Amino acid sequence: MVAMVFLVGCTSQTGNTKKTERKEKVTINIPTAATTGALYPLGSSIANLWTTQLDYIKASAQASNGGIDNLNLLQSGEAQVSMAVTSVMHESFKGEGTFTGRPNDKLRVIAGLYYNPNQVVVRKESGIDGLQDIAGKSFASGAPGSTTEVETKLHLQEAGVNYPDGLKAQFVGFTEAIDLMRNKQLDGAWIMAGLPTAAVTEMTTTADGKLISIDEDVIAKLQEKYPWYAKFTIPAGTYDGQDQDITTTAIKMALFTTADLSEEVVYDLTKAFWENIETLKTSNNALKNIKVEEAISDLAGLPLHDGAIKYYKEIGVVK
């Protein structure tokens, strides 16, 4: 829900009176993901930035079940800005997959952010070295209805694993999965988050976890069906004890909003975000390689908000 309060004021100057611009107070709720992922601190940083830089904006971030949950909250009007990977955004916009029969034609992009890699973490003693080895194992596929759970399903099916019946699927989020792995009640977990993410760090340092690669043929099959997938390398040394590169898939993460927010408001949000991107980078490693020139690329055909277009035209990113 967007809260609106008219702020009116004036200041006296020598010989004349200058009226300040009327602004509607806008409240922006930003659902993110689990508190142990990369999105929660990023959402909190963005909320703090907008609230401090724009005097008519009151933004706050909340934990959520991830991208699908975020898109549902946007469509219901409970959120005004959030983040998700472009695959589920495309489904929401078109009314496909999880969103069948519920297209959200008001979904708009503020900015493409970074590639969000799939990270498969397993206990070293689990006997899992590839996706096919997950068959019959106790494995955390993500919270019900989450983007992570969808990714687990698509990848395991392409690897020939009957999902979910062919494994002991645990529908839990990052935080629960960490504790279960520590207690040896779980063989592995699927995590989709920017590099590095706290949950993977926890699993590799405190739960005897390791990352495994996704086979090239599985990646090729996924790319044939879903053009938003990219082949991605998690460089050696990203996590403690990771002594080799890990091959996986990734999807672009994007910052999105609703067409119900005005062009003026979204222009201000977009401008503040990019003009303070270096500050955001200092506390959010996932943004370290982000460039404004790539803000409108690999968005799976999703529309930009008019306010974002106005800003990108000003700086020459949109011609």
pLDDT band at 3 (very low <50, low <70, confident <90, very high): very low
pLDDT band at 22 (very low <50, low <70, confident <90, very high): low
The pLDDT of residue 1: 42
Q: Give percent above pLDDT 70 in the chain.
A: 93
Q: How many CB atoms lie within 10 A of CB 24?
A: 14
pLDDT band at 21 (very low <50, low <70, confident <90, very high): low
pLDDT band at 86 (very low <50, low <70, confident <90, very high): very high
d(CA 139, CA 66): 19
d(CA 195, CA 202): 13
| Distance from the first to the final alpha carbon of the chain | 34
Q: How many CB atoms lie within 10 A of CB 206?
A: 12
Q: Is the pLDDT of residue 134 over 80?
A: yes
pLDDT band at 285 (very low <50, low <70, confident <90, very high): confident
Cis peptide bond N-terminal to 196, omega within 30: yes
195 by Cβ neighbours in 10 Å (0-12 / 13-18 / 19+) ranks as: buried
pLDDT band at 4 (very low <50, low <70, confident <90, very high): very low
Q: Give percent above pLDDT 90 in the chain.
A: 78
Up-side HSE of residue 210: CA atoms within 13 Å toward CB? 17
Q: Which range is least confidently modeled, 21-25, 94-98, 221-225?
A: 21-25
d(CA 140, CA 119): 12
Q: What are the structural domains, with CATH classification, of the chain?
A: 6-115+255-314 (3.40.190.10), 117-251 (3.40.190.10)
106-119, pLDDT tens digit by residue?
A: 999 999 999 889 99
The pLDDT of residue 314: 98
Higher pLDDT, 289 or 242: 242
Which residues are CB-neighbours of 136 under 8 A, at least 6 positions away? 166, 167, 168
The pLDDT of residue 115: 87
CB-based contact 47:60 (threshold 8 Å):
yes
The pLDDT of residue 17: 33
